[in-house]
Homo-oligomer: A and B are copies of this chain.
């Protein structure tokens, strides 16, 4: 909700939903660039603002937008009430700026719904269990608030409005033939989200999967249906690969010549975890006797902190040095049917080889295969893989064609 006009548009949509007979709880983010502006303000008074105070400051963004949305709904003739995260019963741990939701107490929301009101809850924020302080949930916090509330309220559906039409087989800006999926399983969505297709934040999908909340991801600029993210269908999967994801917010770190003994990886990755840094791909390769190189990737945002921690631990471990690079990107294929279909990974590697793209790191899970490649090769790689698996709208056959494209 960037402007008063957008707030009014959202209010109109919510009122229409209410008038169709539903009880409505809406979760909102801050307006436009409010959060960035508040962070810039904080940096003007403190080079590294204390996290508790940053939460106190940032939480005002969502509080303001939810009050404005409640006003806009009132102007359309429906009763509405805005609630802060703490008022909405969002109880979190005490990790400021990256709090996790521990539980949701929906009693206040239920009371307001029972009075026929539309309830607007400030996303991205909650109240710490111990101190009863305002916390913020970090990246993806608003989506997660919505899913957690939907679970606590046993809502029929959790609609998440984004700036895209739904989940596509690949980024349509990179692959013009990319097709919107009608539905996708939690696991697949989780991988797509983790791999850079940031339609939904992974943590919101995790919460949805845990509690069986069906998410409808759709565009806030159109009335068309988007993509339903929900539990596996009972029938056997007929679509091996549902999409190609890519992520360019990647940095590579290599610790050179680490002594090859037990506990080395633990020392490094527990130190990074203590700083709340998520490590993605990890590769350890023995170079020569008793020495190994340890390679891993993190988001670019986390790189400065990562290097600080890694260089310290590397010295303690007696490693030769630490290298890093940001000219890398990750391309991935995702699909729940992958494991029962041999040769899927090989088909991806062939597509890359045919375009002369070198693979630096490979990482696999039950439902995805990811390759770290040169940053400038990412668009070519995504198009090549998308075509190799026949995911496009104009394709008529292939492993991916089993699920019809949703007509929109």
Contacts and interface: CB of A to CB of B under 8 A. Distances in A.
Contact of A45 (B72, B82, B87): B72
Given A41-B4, A53-B82, A67-B53, A46 B72 contact: yes
A63 B60 contact: yes
Interface in A47-76: 47, 49-50, 52-54, 56-57, 59-61, 63-64, 66-72, 74-75
29 contacts: A4-B44, A4-B45, A11-B45, A38-B64, A41-B64, A41-B68, A42-B68, A42-B71, A45-B68, A45-B71, A45-B72, A46-B72, A46-B74, A53-B67, A53-B68, A53-B74, A53-B80, A56-B67, A56-B70, A56-B82, A56-B84, A57-B68, A59-B63, A60-B60, A60-B63, A60-B64, A60-B67, A63-B63, A87-B133
Contact of A66 (B56, B67, B74): B56
Interface in A10-58: 11, 38, 41-42, 44-47, 49-50, 52-54, 56-57
The winner among A8, A53, A80, A82 for most chain B CB atoms within 10 A is A53
A54 B70 CA distance: 10
A382 interface: no
A144 B162 CA distance: 44
A64 B58 CA distance: 8
Contacts of A60: 60-61, 63-64, 67
A7 interface: yes
Contacts of A314: none
B63 A7 contact: no
A372 B15 CA distance: 51
Interface residues of A, number: 40
Contacts of A8: 45
A81 interface: yes
Contacts of A84: 56, 134
A220 B70 CA distance: 37
Nearest to A72: B45
A75 B45 contact: yes
A82 B56 CA distance: 8
Contacts of A71: 42, 45-46, 49-50, 53-54, 57
Nearest to A49: B71
Given A60-B60, A75-B47, A81 B52 contact: yes
B64 A57 contact: yes
A74 B53 CA distance: 10
A381 B64 CA distance: 46
